[in-house]
Structure 1
Amino acid sequence: MGEQQIPDATDPASVEPEPQRGLSRRGLMGLALGAGAAGVALGAGGGVVGGIALGRDQAQAATDAVAPASGIHQPGITTPVQDHLHFAAYDMMARTTRDDLAELLADWTYAATRMMQGLDVSATGAVGGSPEAPPDDTGEALGLPASNLTITFGFGPSLFDSRFGLEGQRPAGLERLPAFLGDDLDPLRSDGDLCIQACADDPQVAVHAIRNLSRIAFGRATIRWSQLGFGRTSKTTSDQATPRNLFGYKDGTANILADDTAALDENVWVSASEGPAWLAGGSYLVARRIAMLIETWDRTRLAEQDRVVGRDKAKGAPLSGGDEFTAPDFAAVGSSGKPAIDARSHVRLAHPDNNGGIRILRRGYNFVDGTTDLGRLNAGLFFLSFQKSPDSFITLQRALSTDAMGEYLRHVGSGLWAVPPAPAAGASVGAGLLGA
Structure 2
Amino acid sequence: MSERMSRRKVFGLGAAGVAAAGAGAIAARSLVQEPPVAHATTSDPFPFYGEHQAGIVTPAQDRLHFVAFDVTTGSRAELVDLLQEWTAAAARLTQGKEAGSFGAAGGSPEAAPDDTGEALGLPASGLTLTIGFGPSLFDRRFGLAARRPPALADLPKFPGERLIPELSGGDLCVQACAHDPQVAVHAIRNLARIGFGKVSVRWSQLGFGRTSSTSRAQVTPRNLMGFKDGTNNMKLEDAALLRDQLWAAAPDGADWMAGGTYLVTRKIRMTIETWDRTSLREQEEIFGRDKVKGAPVGKQNEFDPVDLAAMKPDAHVRLAHPSGHGNAHLLRRGYNYVDGSDGLGRLDAGLFFIAYQRDPRKQFVPIQMALARTDPLNEYIKHISSGLFACPPGVRDAGDYWGRGLFG
TM-score in terms of structure 1 length: 0.86
**Could you tell me how far 1:133 is from its partner in structure 2?**
2.7
| Alignment partner, residue 366 of structure 1 | 336
| Alignment partner, residue 395 of structure 1 | 366
The amino acid across from 1:47 in the alignment is A
Distance 1:231 1:266 in 2: 28
348-357 or 142-151, larger mean C-alpha shift = 348-357
Q: Percent identity?
A: 54
Distance 1:82 1:364 in 2: 10
| Alignment partner, residue 387 of structure 2 | 415
Residues 359, 52 of structure 1: CA spacing in aligned structure 2 closer, same or farther, 3 A cutoff? closer
Of 13, 32, 37, which aligns to 1:29? Answer: 13
Listed as ranges, the gaps of 5+ residues in structure 2 are 1-5, 34-41
| Alignment partner, residue 3 of structure 2 | none
CA contact (8 A) 2:48 2:395 kept: no
Distance 2:250 2:8 in 1: 32
DSSP 3-state at the match of 1:313: coil
Residues 359, 254 of structure 1: CA spacing in aligned structure 2 closer, same or farther, 3 A cutoff? same
How many residues matched? 391
CA contact (8 A) 2:49 2:396 kept: no
Residues 357, 52 of structure 1: CA spacing in aligned structure 2 closer, same or farther, 3 A cutoff? closer
**Could you tell me how far 1:187 is from its partner in structure 2?**
0.5
The amino acid across from 1:348 in the alignment is R
| Alignment partner, residue 99 of structure 1 | 77
Residues 296, 281 of structure 1: CA spacing in aligned structure 2 closer, same or farther, 3 A cutoff? same
| Alignment partner, residue 57 of structure 2 | 78
RMSD of the alignment, in Å? 2.1
| Alignment partner, residue 201 of structure 2 | 223
**Could you tell me how far 1:47 is from its partner in structure 2?**
2.3
DSSP 3-state at the match of 1:331: helix
Residues 44, 68 of structure 1: CA spacing in aligned structure 2 closer, same or farther, 3 A cutoff? closer
DSSP 3-state at the match of 2:250: coil
CA contact (8 A) 2:26 2:92 kept: no
Residue by residue over 1:72-123, the C-alpha shift from the partner in whole angstroms, topping out at 9 and shown as x without a partner, is 1000000010000000000111x52110110110010010110001000112
| Alignment partner, residue 170 of structure 1 | 148
CA contact (8 A) 2:212 2:220 kept: yes
Map 1:136-147; keep pairs closer than 5 Å: 136-147=114-125
Matched, 1:377 2:350: no
**Could you tell me how far 1:67 is from its partner in structure 2?**
1.1
**Could you tell me how far 1:26 is from its partner in structure 2?**
5.9
CA contact (8 A) 1:289 1:412 kept: yes
Residue by residue over 1:300-342, the C-alpha shift from the partner in whole angstroms, topping out at 9 and shown as x without a partner, is 011110011110001000012130001111223xxxxxxxx11
Listed as ranges, the gaps of 5+ residues in structure 1 are 1-21, 33-37, 54-62, 333-340
**Could you tell me how far 1:168 is from its partner in structure 2?**
0.7
Residues 25, 113 of structure 1: CA spacing in aligned structure 2 closer, same or farther, 3 A cutoff? farther
Map 1:118-267; keep pairs closer than 5 Å: 118-267=96-245
Residues 204, 237 of structure 1: CA spacing in aligned structure 2 closer, same or farther, 3 A cutoff? same
Of 411, 428, 431, which aligns to 2:401? Answer: 428
DSSP 3-state at the match of 2:340: strand
CA contact (8 A) 2:335 2:352 kept: yes
| Alignment partner, residue 268 of structure 1 | 246
The amino acid across from 2:82 in the alignment is L
CA contact (8 A) 1:317 1:325 kept: yes
Residue by residue over 1:11-49, the C-alpha shift from the partner in whole angstroms, topping out at 9 and shown as x without a partner, is xxxxxxxxxxx97646573356xxxxx876362255238
CA contact (8 A) 1:176 1:415 kept: no
The amino acid across from 1:393 in the alignment is F
Matched, 1:44 2:24: yes
